Amino acid sequence: MALLRRRISCQELVELASDYLDGTLSTAARQAVEHHLAGCPNCPNYLAQLRLTVELTGRVRSDDVPEELLDVLSRAWDDLHPDG
């Protein structure tokens, strides 16, 4: 895997962040992410924000969201994914 041969960029970390938090990365990918986090001044903050977002959104129930907002979100989703 290419991650074994080189350091990953911040963009690559962003692409791997959700899988990293879910614990679904391969050992090599996880190590590459952790190596990047140890030397990057910005990505640890990004990861902390993502972790908090996941934690907070996991607590939201559909009853907590106003119907109007659900409609807006549904239309936005449909616009981004017109094929289903």
Q: Is the pTM of this model over 0.75?
A: no
Do 47 and 19 touch, CB atoms closer than 8 A?
A: no
Q: What is the dihedral of CA 50, 84, 59, 57, to 10 degrees?
A: 20
Q: What is the pLDDT of residue 57?
A: 82
| pLDDT exceeds cutoff 80 at 16 | yes
Provide the pLDDT confidence category of residue 84 given band limits of 50, 70 and 90: low
Give how far the C-alpha of residue 4 lies from the chain's centroid of Cα atoms, to the nearest Å. Answer: 22
Give how far the C-alpha of residue 2 lies from the chain's centroid of Cα atoms, to the nearest Å. Answer: 21
Q: How far apart are CA 15 and CA 18, in angstroms?
A: 7
Q: What is the pLDDT of residue 1?
A: 44
Which residue's structure tokens are 């990057």? 40
Residue 42's identity, in one-letter code, is N
Q: What is the pLDDT of residue 5?
A: 57
Full set of structural domains in the chain with CATH: 2-80 (1.10.10)
